[in-house]
Amino acid sequence: MNRTGSDGTLPHRPDVLMPAFPRIATARLVLRAFAVADAPAVQRLAGVREVADQTLLPHPYADGMAEAWIESRRAAHECGEATDLAIERVLDGTLVGAIGLAFEPGRARAKLGYWVGAPFWGRGYATEAAAAVVTYGFETCALERIWAPRFRGNAASARVLEKIGFAHEGCRRRFVAERARAETVEQHGYLRWEYYARVAQCGFTCEPGAF
Ligand SMILES: CC(C)(COP(=O)(O)OP(=O)(O)OC[C@H]1O[C@@H](n2cnc3c(N)ncnc32)[C@H](O)[C@@H]1OP(=O)(O)O)[C@@H](O)C(=O)NCCC(=O)NCCS
């Protein structure tokens, strides 16, 4: 399958206008464009040390940063640089995290990134959201490869990636110097043919309990 955007353009190409923000529904979540009204929740959830420690998010997460970041996401999507989505729980409309693909210019490759607020950990939300975004990346954006970096100590993220089909590909030693630490980054990758092989074999879905 080699799906293109609704206007026939390949969404992963940065030189073409991206279609509207996707809205992706899973069993318990909706992945949608951020709105400025999400800013207080983003600041509250992304601003805690446990989330910052495993990401490149700023810390402290100062007033105004969430609004500026949300505002920047629209332009990033429109120019094909990145598509970042809010993870909202359908049950009560609560924002539980963020997930996105950062597209490599001129390549059918993207980097997957995500965080879930600490009060919502361990409920399968990251796995459910990441599985849905991977499907979007391969089926709608026609990507050939999605990759995901994580800090070596981030076992929860490693497990999320393993559950949805990523392979561990190796590491880059002391690759990121953040907050006075030299972090080794483990890299995970998922190829288009692997995704479709998995779909054919398991009837892979984004349902909770499918992982
Ligand atoms: C990593 C993160 C996204 C996981 O979110 P989540 O919604 O709790 O993830 P899920 O519930 O879908 O899955 C977590 C899996 O990791 C496992 N896990 C959690 N902590 C673990 C640990 N210390 N060691 C091993 N496995 C662990 C869980 O048991 C679960 O696996 P299971 O379903 O087989 O039991 C969340 O912890 C987070 O946002 N952390 C801070 C930011 C971050 O790390 N972002 C990713 C950067 S690469």
Higher pLDDT, 208 or 44: 44
Domain-by-domain residue ranges, the chain? 24-143
Q: What is the pLDDT of residue 203?
A: 75
* Average pLDDT of the segment spanning 28-44: 98
Q: What is the pLDDT of residue 5?
A: 41
Residue nearest to atom 19 of ligand 1 (CA): 156
Q: What is the pLDDT of residue 117?
A: 98
Residue nearest to atom 31 of ligand 1 (CA): 159
CATH hierarchy code of domain 24-143? 3.40.630.30
Nearest Cα neighbor of 154 from 192, 181, 180, 129 is 181
Give the distance (Å) from ligand 1 centre to CA of residue 14: 31
In a 13 Å sphere around the CA of 70, the CA atoms on its Cβ side amount to: 21
Q: Is 47 in the pocket of ligand 1 (CB under 6 A)?
A: no
Percent of the chain with pLDDT over 90: 81
Condensed to tens digits (0 to 9), the pLDDT of residues 101-126 reads: 999 999 999 999 999 999 999 999 99
* Average pLDDT of the segment spanning 133-158: 97
